[in-house]
Amino acid sequence: MTDAPVMYPRKPQRIKGRSIAIIVFLSMAALFFCIPLYVLVVTSFKEMEQIREGAIFSLPARWTWEAWSYAWFDACSGLTCEGLRQGFWNSVAILGPSLVASIALSMVTGYALALWKMKWAGTFLFVLFLCAFVPFQIIMYPLIRLTVSLGIYGSMTAIVFVHTALALPVLTLIFRNFYKDIPEDIIKAAVMDSGSFWRIFIEIILPMSGNILIVVLIMQITSIWNDYLIGVTFGGLGTKPMTVHLANMVTVSTGTVSYNVNMAAALLTAIPPLVIYFVLGKFFVQGIAAGAIKG
Amino acid sequence: MPRVSFEHIVKRYGNVTVLDGLNLAVEDGDFLVLLGPSGCGKSTLLNLIAGLQDVTSGRIMIGERDVTELDPKDRGLSMVFQSYALYPTKTVEGNLRFGLSARKLPKAEVNKRVKWAADLLQLQPLMRRKPAALSGGQRQRVAIGRALVKHAEVLLFDEPLSNLDAKLRTEMRLEIKKLHDTLKPTIVYVTHDQIEAMTMATKIAVMNDGEIQQFGTPDDVYENPANLFVASFIGSPAMNLAAATLTVDGGQPLATFADGSAMSLTDAPFDNDVQPDREIMVGMRPEHFVMDATGSAAGHAAFELPVRMVERTGSDALISLDFAGEHLFVRAEPDRAVKIKSGDAVSVHYPIAKLNLFDVQTGQRL
Ligand SMILES: Nc1ncnc2c1ncn2[C@@H]1O[C@H](COP(=O)(O)OP(=O)(O)OP(=O)(O)O)[C@@H](O)[C@H]1O
Ligand SMILES: [Mg+2]
């Protein structure tokens, strides 16, 4: 973006072999994602008769929202036939508390680790670092036992709990590294002025955290919304997230496969994170670019 | 306003000892300047008073209170940081107010103090701005204001003027001095700028390698440096230090320089008994030389030396003479200096009473 004015006086360059190769490669990469997406979108607007003809790249003969509304209101997932609605609201109900809990906890821990004198802070950080690399599958069974003994297994609470617990190591490291870059004198001044852990956090540190918050928000929203494994493992009847509903709908339905409904359902599930990207995307780039805080 | 004292302060980082058994007392209402080369432990000392770092051993007293173990906010002092350390997301007013957040003050009192500081430091037009939208000097004033609203009895300054240009620095120097005269807080002020130290301080503590080299009034430190370090560190241009041998001849002390010339030290200000046959350093301030003196005058040492070069340093000129192969700098009026060319011989007198004599071995003043 910034070198646009520099580009202007330059002569257009002749395309060389190497750049052709790059362009070809990038186009193929783009197609790799775009073709399935295209098929997904057009199929979701078609009627089943046209789909049965088998021309998957053709445009819909008649554009219709029927598959979308069916996927949302009526499609069957397992035994219930209430569409994806329920899953959507479950996902929202999981997302909210998981986001708040994981971000709030890791933020405060990161703040304490970075800016306050703590015993064993180094060891703690090292352990966090290790935890961040433990694959979920390895601790899945212990986590199931844990949630069972807490009496929350199969509930929304269990899903929220697991999402929060799994996100904490990485998020804490991210926040801690961000706060480490705050000039030491600012925190020293705040300690002399107020000395209160929470007051400094809320009045000084939180307002300086905008950039990193956006980054973490997007990361978390995407990963929580797109999660399937935690939802299917820890959720019970009626508490499963949208992804699980989608999977059930696509795999379990008997008889003819309603491709248009499946495609619409898949798109419905994918839309919320996309909306977040478009809304917060600009800040996301800024947040990643902003390394240190200049004051 | 309380007195601040350090008793046997030791500060180590791992196995690096920064301060080793330091003792220092600042009387109430004093303006103490800590002066010393980079890395000598000045900031460390300030951080220890403020409680931002813990002492390894020793005791810090503020007034009658032992504050060694106290939290920073409970020590009743405020600090202006070298980097200003303003809160970037708060407005100027927010910065001033946050300074009072530890004290549970009634709202009216907070407003009164903020207004007072804003008026005093002429911050009124800036109150709604964020620090990023201020110039260096304005940020500085906000930082001072934030320290003042607390009405702390002890103020700490860590090189607060080092980021400013020369003009602004002179102005701020006067402002801070004025503040001290009106409010009379006890101030500990860190700098490595000598002019700041000489003009503002009521007391100066010269530090090197974590030790106090000399503690005294600016005049005292300047005119009677306690050792070679202080003598060479204080003063710009620096004091001339000429190596000599001290002998006593018929009860009269005599310094013999490397070129064989001798100087009678009969009237010299010895602090201690004269011990003969030692290597000494004879210190002479460039500005105490008397130019164009002829013959000999009582109580003065006479030099007749060739000129190496002449430097104009603004309001003064500095003449470098060749004395036993070393430079001997003499301050002169610019009018006079323009008439001198290198290679000329000039005769100068130096008042014996203003000599500074040091033992080479111990570095201490004789
Ligand atoms: N955290 C630390 N670990 C180890 N050594 C340190 C630490 N902080 C400071 N020091 C050392 O302590 C000594 C004194 O540091 P200090 O910051 O007090 O110097 P200063 O006199 O303020 O210097 P300046 O004028 O450059 O600010 C330095 O030699 C420094 O290297
Ligand atoms: Mg320092």
Mutate to test the pocket of ligand 1, among B34, B38, B44 (most ligand atoms within 8 A of CB): B44
Question: Within a domain: residue A281?
Answer: yes
Same domain for A234 and A125? yes
Q: Is the pLDDT of residue B362 over 60?
A: yes
Q: Is the pLDDT of residue B297 over 90?
A: no
The CATH number of whichever domain residue B244 belongs to comes to 2.40.50.140
Q: How many CB atoms lie within 10 A of CB B115?
A: 16
Question: Within a domain: residue A12?
Answer: no
CA A19 / ligand 1 centre spacing (Å): 53
Q: Report the C-alpha gap between A128 and A117 in whole angstroms.
A: 18
Token pair of A131, please? 């935890």
Q: Is the pLDDT of residue A2 over 50?
A: no
Select from B188, B205, B233 the last residue of a domain.
B233
Q: Is the pLDDT of residue A289 over 80?
A: no
The CATH number of whichever domain residue A151 belongs to comes to 1.10.3720.10
User: Which DSSP symbol is given to A201?
Assistant: I
pLDDT of the residue at A8: 52
Partner-chain residue, chosen from A191, A194, A293, that has the shortest CB–CB distance to B52: A191
Nearest CA to ligand 1 atom 12: B18
Question: Within a domain: residue A264?
Answer: no
Q: Is B312 helix (H, G, I), strand (E, B) or coil?
A: strand
Q: Quick check: B72 and A207 CB within 8 A?
A: no
Question: Within a domain: residue A81?
Answer: no
Select from B233, B263, B282 the last residue of a domain.
B233
How near does any CA of chain A get to the CA of B66, in Å?
18
Find out whether the beta carbon of B99 lies less than 6 Å from any atom of ligand 1.
no
Same domain for A99 and A180? yes
Q: Is the pTM of this model over 0.90?
A: no
pLDDT band of residue A5 (cuts 50, 70, 90) is very low
Q: Return all residues near B180 (Cβ < 8 A) that are at least 6 apart.
A: B31, B187, B200
pLDDT of the residue at A83: 83
Average pLDDT over residues A234-255: 82
Same domain for A39 and A173? no
How near does any CA of chain A get to the CA of B23, in Å?
24
Average pLDDT over residues B265-279: 80
Same domain for B194 and B297? no
Q: Quick check: A185 and B81 CB within 8 A?
A: yes
pLDDT of the residue at A287: 59
pLDDT of the residue at A51: 84
Partner-chain residue, chosen from B82, B86, B150, that has the shortest CB–CB distance to A295: B86
Average pLDDT over residues B216-229: 92
Structural domain for A144, as ranges: 87-259+271-294
Question: Within a domain: residue A225?
Answer: yes
Same domain for B59 and B188? yes
B83: chain A residues, CB-CB within 8 Å: 183, 185
Question: Within a domain: residue B365?
Answer: no
Structural domain for B351, as ranges: 240-359
Q: pLDDT tens across B196-205, in order?
A: 888 899 999 9
Residue of chain B nearest A115, judged by CA positions: B52
Question: Within a domain: residue B21?
Answer: yes
Q: Quick check: B132 and A295 CB within 8 A?
A: yes
Burial of A212 (0-12, 13-18, 19+ CB in 10 A): buried
Highest mean pLDDT among A147-156, A236-245, B335-344: A147-156
Q: Report the C-alpha gap between A283 and A172 in whole angstroms.
A: 21
**Mutant choice from B101, B151, B157 vs A, greatest count of A C-beta within 10 A:** B101
Average pLDDT over residues A111-135: 89
Token pair of A215, please? 């980054």
Average pLDDT over residues B303-326: 86
Find out whether the beta carbon of B40 lies less than 6 Å from any atom of ligand 1.
yes
How near does any CA of chain A get to the CA of B145, in Å?
13
Q: pLDDT tens across B224-241, in order?
A: 999 999 999 998 888 999
Q: Is the pLDDT of residue A6 over 70?
A: no
Question: Within a domain: residue B366?
Answer: no
Q: Is the pLDDT of residue A293 over 70?
A: no
How near does any CA of chain A get to the CA of B220, in Å?
34
Partner-chain residue, chosen from B52, B74, B89, that has the shortest CB–CB distance to A188: B52
Same domain for B193 and B246? no
Q: Is the pLDDT of residue B1 over 70?
A: no
Q: Is the pLDDT of residue A50 over 90?
A: no
Residue with tokens 């309603």: A258
Q: Quick check: A183 and B86 CB within 8 A?
A: no
A142 upstream amide cis, omega within 30 of 0:
no
CB contact B331 to A (< 8 Å): no
Question: Within a domain: residue B270?
Answer: yes
Select from A49, A64, A79 the last residue of a domain.
A64
Q: Is the pLDDT of residue B301 over 80?
A: yes
pLDDT of the residue at B129: 92
Question: Within a domain: residue B126?
Answer: yes
Select from A64, A79, A97 the last residue of a domain.
A64
Average pLDDT over residues A39-48: 89
> Do residues A243 and A160 touch, judged by C-beta distance below 8 A?
no
Select from B196, B214, B233 the last residue of a domain.
B233
DSSP collapsed to 3 states, B76-114: CEEEECCCCCCCCCCCHHHHHHHCCCCCCCCHHHHHHHH
CA B84 / ligand 2 centre spacing (Å): 13
pLDDT band of residue A269 (cuts 50, 70, 90) is very high
pLDDT of the residue at B235: 86
Q: Quick check: B87 and A194 CB within 8 A?
A: no
Same domain for B312 and B205? no
Question: Within a domain: residue B61?
Answer: yes
pLDDT of the residue at A252: 62
A196: chain B residues, CB-CB within 8 Å: 101-102
Number of domains in chain A: 2
pLDDT of the residue at A274: 87
**Mutant choice from B54, B73, B130, B162 vs A, greatest count of A C-beta within 10 A:** B73
Average pLDDT over residues A60-75: 87
Average pLDDT over residues B250-279: 82
Number of domains in chain B: 2
pLDDT of the residue at A12: 61
Same domain for A29 and A116? no
Asked whether this complex has an ipTM greater than 0.90, the answer is no
